[in-house]
Amino acid sequence: MRLSTTESVCAAGKAERPSAPLTVTPTHGEVALKAMNLSRAVADRVLLSDVNVEANAGEVLAVVGPSGAGKSTFLRLLNRLDEPSSGTVFLNGKDYREIPPQELRRRVGMVMQAAYLFPGTVAENIAFGPAQRGVILPPEKIAALLERVGLSGYEDRHISNLSGGEAQRVSIARTLANEPGAVLLDEPTSALDEVAARAVEALLESIIRERHMTCVIVTHNRAQAARLAARAMILNAGKVVAIGPTAEVLHAE
């Protein structure tokens, strides 16, 4: 894994905000993630109904809609944290039911609204994912990941001594340690104050751009969706209401 250490965003949140949404730069038209007739119901309650959407390699797709619309359900279905009642997802053309769940979640990383870190040090958290597949992450790689997220020297810091913004940066570094090709972001800045939120947003934007990562972001913040995503999908009551260029979709609703 080749890590850039020249674009680090300082923890104080002084990063400039993205000036334009990330554009799609497909690799020979490659569809990285494809949901086909994706649905989920629990008992008699339909959480998601017949969703069909594609995300190209390097594309950022924003998922917006009111609370209870099925946004987080959709995101969790994309790497099988929840199981679909019907339909499926294709990862780089392969039905994800044919991919072992642990491998799938390595390749399709996820950053949650709250940074769910394990008790222990920052370094132990970052090394956890690779260790699950028998890979020992060397100290220099951990240090490079921390530098990339603006936390140089935090290796031995206990997670209980982190601010909310710092914890979310560790969560991002932990996800990057698995070298995913795609990343799912579930309201990644909503639990942070404005300064920390904008700094984390700028960090995510630069990492997605430099690694050409496919990204699906769930957000209530429409301004954030407009800044980060070239396309947006609106969900309501578990169904797709609209999908298309972000500015057009958000303006038309």
Q: At what angle do helices 194-211 and 164-176 cross, to 10 degrees?
A: 10
**What pLDDT sits at residue 21?**
52
Burial of 1 (0-12, 13-18, 19+ CB in 10 A): exposed
Pair 25, 195: CB distance under 8 Å: no
Tokens of 94: 């392969």
Higher pLDDT, 3 or 102: 102
- Domain residue ranges of the chain, discontinuous segments joined by +: 31-252
**What pLDDT sits at residue 218?**
96
Please state, in angstroms and rounded to a whole number, the distance separating the CA atoms of residues 177 and 137: 8
Mean pLDDT of the chain: 88
**What pLDDT sits at residue 44?**
87
Fold of 31-252: Rossmann fold (3.40.50)
- Rounded average pLDDT over 147-161: 97
Residue 150 has pLDDT above 60, yes or no: yes
**What pLDDT sits at residue 27?**
40
Read out DSSP for 52-120?
EEEEETT-EEEEE-STTSSHHHHHHHHTTSS--SEEEEEETTEEGGGS-HHHHHHHEEEE-SS--PPSS
Q: What is the pLDDT of residues 61-114, one digit of tens each?
A: 999 999 999 999 999 999 999 999 999 999 999 999 999 999 999 999 999 988
Q: What is the pTM of this model?
A: 0.85
Residue 11 has pLDDT above 70, yes or no: no
Please state, in angstroms and rounded to a whole number, the distance separating the CA atoms of residues 46 and 42: 7
Residue 4 has pLDDT above 60, yes or no: no
- Rounded average pLDDT over 193-217: 93
**9 falls in which pLDDT band (50, 70, 90)?**
very low
Pair 202, 209: CB distance under 8 Å: no
Please state, in angstroms and rounded to a whole number, the distance separating the CA atoms of residues 168 and 181: 20
**What pLDDT sits at residue 86?**
97
Percent of the residues in the chain that have a pLDDT greater than 70, as a whole number: 88
CA dihedral 183, 184, 187, 189 (to 10 degrees): -10
Please state, in angstroms and rounded to a whole number, the distance separating the CA atoms of residues 62 and 245: 10
Please state, in angstroms and rounded to a whole number, the distance separating the CA atoms of residues 47 and 176: 30
Please state, in angstroms and rounded to a whole number, the distance separating the CA atoms of residues 145 and 225: 26
- Rounded average pLDDT over 195-217: 93
Q: What is the pLDDT of residues 13-30, one digit of tens each?
A: 333 334 445 444 444 458
